[in-house]
A and B are shown apart, each in its own frame.
Chain A
Amino acid sequence: MTFSRRTVLGFALLPLACDSAKPHEGFLGLTERLNDRVQHRLLRPGKLAPQEPESAVTQEGEFPLYKVADDYPEAPAGWKLRVHGLVKSPLELSLAELRRLTPTRFRVRHHCVEGWSAVAAWHGVRVSEMARLCGADPRARFVEFRSFERGQPSEDAEAVRYYSTWDRESAEHPQTILAYARNGAAISREEGAPLRLYSAVKLGYKMVKWVDEVVFQPVRTGGYWEDLGYEWFAGV
């Protein structure tokens, strides 16, 4: 096993290198990269999250609905989902068109980075199905999901779009969908209407709401919370 100079330095400066304000750097950045790799290794593409019983479903009103904008955003008129990037044929799909694609439904536990869990049933189209329809290139090892919600990452910063980038394997997990219904009803504006990302294999902040773009890409980009310091992989 060989260690890069950066690795050796990272450990040698351990007491100085744990700066929690910059968790992507120093010793913490080093272990984050290690943890990202371990998490990726732990992900088994065929392994499904257990189906929760109907009785475990979180009561209406108790499932937290977070946002980064001041108000829950309203879908722009003529909203369509754009799927593009390293693909054979880019797509533009209306909600009606999405609803005609093969649906997937599952009832699973949601894990928030804050530590709470909640249960709901989700209904939508697999991201793997979108990848197949647009002919996503295997070299596109990452998928960026973009929202039309805009938020200010800090008080003096300009508002940016909410987004998050995933590893392709998690994005194409059988329980990763672009969801348009929850607990049997169309999702509300607060829940991410008209379309939101939902997955059983990631923490909540990776599941972009109010989605309008899916980009298959060969490079790893960040995310709204990831750019602020939250871990990138965030698998569960």
Chain B
Amino acid sequence: MKSPRAEQPLAVRITHWANVPLLALMAASGLQILAAFPEMGPKGAPAGWYPLQGWIPPAWMRAGDWLAGARHLHFGIAWLLVANALVYLIWMGTTGEWRRRAFNPRRDARNALDTLAWYVRLRRSPPEQGLYNGLQRFSYTLAIALGAVEVLSGLALYKPVQLSPFAALFGGYDGARAVHLLGLAALLAFTLAHVVLVILHPRALASIFTGGRRT
């Protein structure tokens, strides 16, 4: 018999909460950088799909005061955020925790759809679930994938020449810039939904502080 595991072991709690200030600083310094050129598309060829051409995020959403300050903040905090992500991923891999956390379409797809149906009142009762339901596994795994997209598109923007294969992945420098911003918007949407849902399920909120039940 294996010794019982907490719902949210210490490594998960630490890396989870470390993400909060780090992601907030990355987002806010990123928006300060955006403010220096709040447009999508290269000079002389603005992107038609972007509805916010010229829009500068309000001051409370920005950090770093000015372009140079924000860039230093962005490229400094990035190391801490990536280090935090690596600790989490290595811990997940070596402990096998990913098995009960990562989205596995064959196991979780049906459950994810049933949970969604319950949330939108198309179903009377929630489907059975263990630590997480399928929809949680899907969205948490999606958030990690979005993080990876942000790192890759960020590297493409940082070094569009020396790391040109990364830029090519996103259709060049300006493509990478668009993906980097859309990735932020998606992470923001995830965070909002995450906060709303956790308020509706206070037991999950408690366990990310205390570790929760041992099973």
Residues of chain A whose beta carbon lies under 8 Å from any beta carbon of chain B:
18, 20-21, 23, 27-28, 30-32, 34-35, 39, 42-44, 47, 49-50, 58-59, 62-64, 109, 111-119, 200-201, 225, 228-231, 235-236
Contact = CB atoms under 8 A, between A and B. Distances in A.
Nearest to A27: B76
A235 B162 contact: yes
B79 A114 contact: no
Nearest to B168: A50
A18 B24 CA distance: 14
Contact of A23 (B37, B39, B69): B69
B86 interface: no
A2 to B, nearest CB: 18
Interface string B6-50: 000000000000000000000000000110110100111100000
Given A28-B73, A112-B37, A230 B68 contact: yes
Interface in B43-69: 43-45, 63-69
Interface string B143-166: 000000000000000111111100
Nearest to A31: B76
Contact of B160 (A23, A39, A111, A114): A111
Interface of B: 33-34, 36-37, 39, 42-45, 63-73, 75-76, 79, 158-164, 172-174, 177
B43 A116 contact: yes
Contacts of A21: 65, 69
Contact of A64 (B43, B68, B73): B43
Given A47-B161, A58-B45, A114-B36, 11 more contacts: A18-B73, A28-B72, A32-B75, A50-B164, A62-B43, A111-B173, A119-B42, A225-B68, A230-B71, A231-B68, A235-B161
A185 B207 CA distance: 68
A23 B72 contact: yes
B177 to A, nearest CB: 7
The 8 A-B residue pairs with the shortest CB-CB distance, nearest first, are A20-B69, A62-B44, A31-B76, A23-B72, A115-B37, A114-B36, A118-B43, A229-B68
A31 B83 CA distance: 14
Given A34-B79, A115-B37, A42 B73 contact: no
Nearest to A112: B37
Contact of B44 (A23, A63, A229): A63
Contacts of B63: 20
Contacts of B160: 109, 111, 236
B164 A231 contact: no
Contacts of B70: 20
